[in-house]
Structure 1
């Protein structure tokens, strides 16, 4: 019975992945240049200042703090990476986390596409993202619309 369930899952997974055109398109982007609107940047800066967070402002509108830069070649938006991460809201509630999870950066929110390439494998970074570089005005599983998001990310490797 278990073997049939595993086989059915594999068949469904293969069938579903065969229909994804986006995953089959080669990534040609070399850098992300999206910028957050000034109002979001000002709100994020207020949060950073009010909580006395030591973070660097990026010209694209997010803030970051590098705990460890890592070593080796940094990923690009076209890279597939393996990370440990946790995502929190400004009230410190955790909405998501994962360990040893692999992603294609070009399939993730813009803030990750812009922030993760700031560190190399073995590096650790905290990203403070305004809504437009995260999920914007769309509410997502446990994330209210227009939320500032905080991600602690350990870049384990570039695959």
Structure 2
């Protein structure tokens, strides 16, 4: 009798634990819902990156991996929380050293351009995100490109 009570209690705990676990929502669904809710005219790249070219910029620069870019940017989570803005100042980076979503998205504009990148976790920080960015977060960046060389 006691064994049956313990087994029943154990099974109840297991079922409760499993049912209370929240399944991770599909990142693509999170992004498409976010885009629809905010009326963003975004395009989906074959990589899974969504982007909106705000200003295309000028020029005809091609982007080798060693490209040095100078940008101002702001990174947000889909709830609007700003997790990074480069202190509001221009920052210079080597394109090949950035997250994949930036390596794919930034070459879609030229100097003087501005782009919004909505980056699924696999092209961002994935499950290894730290600090103010929860693991497997979709990222929303606005990037102004002032120079590329």
In the TM superposition, structure 1's runs of 4+ consecutive aligned residues that sit over 6 Å from their partners are none
Alignment of 1:73-88 (within 5 A): 73-88=61-76
Kindly indicate whether residue 49 of structure 2 is the aligned counterpart of residue 59 of structure 1.
no
After TM superposition, give the deviation of residue 59 of structure 1 in Å. 1.2
Match of 1:118 among 108, 112, 127: 108
Deviations 1:34-53 (A, max 9, x none): xxxxx433332222223322
Distance 1:97 1:118 in 2: 21
Unpaired segments ≥5 residues, structure 2: 1-25
Task: Pick the aligned partner of 2:95 from 105, 109, 132.
Answer: 105
1:71 corresponds to which residue? 58
Q: TM-score, normalised by structure 1?
A: 0.71
TM-score, normalized by length of structure 2? Answer: 0.76
1:89 equivalent in alignment to 2:77:
yes
Q: Residue 154 of structure 1 aligns with which residue?
A: 144
Deviation by residue 1:46-90 (Cα, 9 ceiling, x = unmatched): 222233221111111011111110111143433110000000001
The whole-number CA distance in structure 2 between the counterparts of 1:59 and 1:111 is 12
